[in-house]
C-alpha cells in the first residue's frame, strides 16, 4: 500500500462517525481508523457500513491473548474485509504467528498486520518499576519490532520519532504507522512526542494516524487535504 494519511475516527457512535465522513463525499475517500471506543459502541456493523462507502479501514483493536484465541478472533476480523489490523507485540512471537494464520483467508489474501511495541503512555519508570523490564524503552521497542518481523508481520505502530530506529533494525520495507502528528502552527492536545506530517514523511513513516487535527478542525476536508499535501503527495 502507498504512503497515506489515516484519520482516527475517535467518535462514540455510528451516527457521529457517518456524519463526519459525509463531509468527504464526492472527493477522495480517506483511509480511516476505527478504535475500541467506536467498535465496542457500534459493533462490526459500523465497519461494514464504512467499508461499503468505499473507505479503507485500520481496525485498531490491539489484540493480546493466548495464540488460539487470537487466531480465531483474527479469522472473524478478516471476514470483515478490513485493510489493516493490529496486536500487542507483548503477546510474543507465537501469538503474532497465530494472528497471521487466523487473518489469512482461504485464497491466501489477508489484511496487513502490525504490532504495537510499547504504548507511548508507558514511561521508563513504569517499564522498570511496574513491568520489571530492565532494558530501556528504545531497546524494548526495537526488540519487539524484531519479534514482529520474525513472526512475519508487516510492521509496527510507533511514534514518528521512533520510525527511523525501527527501519534501521527491521529494514525499509517494514511498515511504520505513526500517530502523534500535529501541524506546525496548531495545538498539541495531550500528545507529547509529536511531529508534523512533513517531518514524519522525512523520517520515513509509511502511514500517519491523525485524529483531532482533522476531526476537531472547523474545516476537516481542508485539514485532511493539507495533511495529504504535506505527507503523501
Ligand atoms: O487526536 P490524535 O491525532 O491525538 O489521535 C491519535 C490517534 O492515535 C488516537 O486514536 C490515539 O488513540 C492513537 N494512538 C496514539 N498513540 C499511540 C497509539 C495510538 O495517539 N501510541
Q: Counting Cβ atoms within 10 Å, is residue 107 exposed (0-12), middle (13-18) or buried (19+)?
A: exposed
* C-beta contacts of 223-229 below 8 A and 24+ residues apart: 223/183, 224/5, 224/7, 224/24, 224/30, 226/183, 226/197, 227/5, 227/181, 227/197, 228/5, 228/28
pLDDT above 80 for 231: yes
Instruction: Establish whether residue 157 lines the binding site of ligand 1, counting it when its CB lies within 6 angstroms of any ligand atom.
Output: yes
Query: Is 131 near ligand 1, meaning CB less than 6 Å away?
Result: no
pLDDT, tens digit, 9 for 90 and up, residues 25-84: 888 999 999 999 999 999 999 999 999 999 999 999 999 999 999 999 999 999 999 999
Task: Give the confidence band of 163 by pLDDT, cuts at 50, 70, 90.
Answer: very high
pLDDT at 130: 96
Q: How many CB atoms lie within 10 A of CB 172?
A: 10
Q: What angle do CA 23, 110, 71 make, to 5 degrees?
A: 110
Nearest alpha carbon, ligand 1 atom 10: 8
* 199 grid coordinates: 517531518
pLDDT in tens, 96-130: 999 999 999 999 999 999 999 999 888 899 999 99
Atom of ligand 1 nearest to the CA of 158: 21
**pLDDT exceeds 80 at position 193:** no
Taking the CA of residue 42 as centre, how many other CA atoms within 13 Å lie in the half-sphere pointing to its CB?
Answer: 21
CA of 80 to the centre of ligand 1 (A): 23
**Ligand 1 atom, smallest distance to 8 CA:** 10
Instruction: Domains for the chain: give ranges and CATH numbers.
Output: 4-232 (3.20.20.70)
CA of 197 to the centre of ligand 1 (A): 14
**pLDDT exceeds cutoff 80 at 233:** no
What positions carry a catalytic annotation? Answer: 62
Q: Is 162 in the pocket of ligand 1 (CB under 6 A)?
A: no
Residue indicated by cell numbers 484519520:
7
Written as one string, the DSSP assignment of 74-111 is HHHHHHTT-SEEEEEGGG-HHHHHHHHHHH--TTS---
Q: Judge whether 105 and 83 are in contact, CB under 8 Å.
A: no
Cα 13 to Cα 40: distance, rounded to the nearest angstrom = 10
> Would you tell me how many other CB atoms lie within 10 Å of the CB of residue 218?
6
The predicted model gives 187-197 an average pLDDT of 85
Give the per-residue pLDDT at 161. 86
Distance from the alpha carbon of residue 8 to the mean position of ligand 1, in angstroms: 7
Distance 34 CA to ligand 1 centre (A): 11
**Interatomic CA distance for residues 72 and 109, integer angstroms:** 16
Query: Strand locations in the chain, DSSP E?
Result: 4-8, 31-35, 57-63, 84-88, 112-116, 155-157, 175-178, 207-210
CB 178 within 8 A of CB 205: yes
Average pLDDT, the chain: 95
Q: How confident is the model at residue 1 (pLDDT cuts 50, 70, 90)?
A: confident
The whole-number average pLDDT for the span 148-164 is: 95
pLDDT score of 196: 96
Confidence of residue 207 (pLDDT cuts 50, 70, 90): very high
Amino acid at each position: 500500500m502507498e504512503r497515506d494519511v489515516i484519520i482516527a475516527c475517535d467518535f462514540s457512535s455510528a451516527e457521529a462517525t457517518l456524519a463526519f465522513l459525509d463531509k468527504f463525499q464526492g472527493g477522495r475517500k480517506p483511509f480511516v481508523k476505527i478504535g475500541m471506543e467506536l467498535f465496542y459502541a457500534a459493533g462490526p456493523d459500523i465497519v461494514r457500513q464504512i467499508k461499503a462507502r468505499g473507505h479503507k479501514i485500520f481496525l485498531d483493536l490491539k489484540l493480546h491473548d493466548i495464540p488460539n484465541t487470537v487466531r480465531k478472533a483474527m479469522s472473524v476480523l478478516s471476514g470483515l474485509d478490513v485493510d489493516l489490523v493490529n496486536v500487542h507485540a507483548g503477546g510474543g512471537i507465537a501469538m503474532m504467528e497465530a494472528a497471521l494464520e487466523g487473518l489469512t483467508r482461504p485464497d491466501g489474501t489477508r489484511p496487513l498486520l502490525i504490532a504495537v511495541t510499547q504504548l507511548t503512555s508507558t514511561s521508563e519508570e513504569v517499564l522498570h518499576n511496574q513491568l520489571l523490564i530492565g532494558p530501556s524503552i528504545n531497546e524494548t521497542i526495537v526488540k519487539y519490532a524484531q519479534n514482529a518481523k520474525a513472526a512475519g508481520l508487516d510492521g509496527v505502530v510507533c511514534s514518528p520519532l521512533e520510525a527511523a530506529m525501527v527501519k534501521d533494525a527491521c529494514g525499509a520495507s517494514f511498515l511504520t504507522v505513526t500517530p502523534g502528528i500535529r501541524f506546525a502552527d496548531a495545538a498539541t492536545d495531550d500528545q507529547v512526542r509529536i511531529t508534523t506530517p512533513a517531518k514524519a514523511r522525512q523520517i520515513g513513516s509509511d502511514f500517519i494516524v491523525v485524529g483531532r487535527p482533522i476531526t476537531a478542525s472547523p474545516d476537516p476536508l481542508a485539514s485532511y487535504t493539507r495533511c495529504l499535501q504535506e505527507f503523501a503527495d
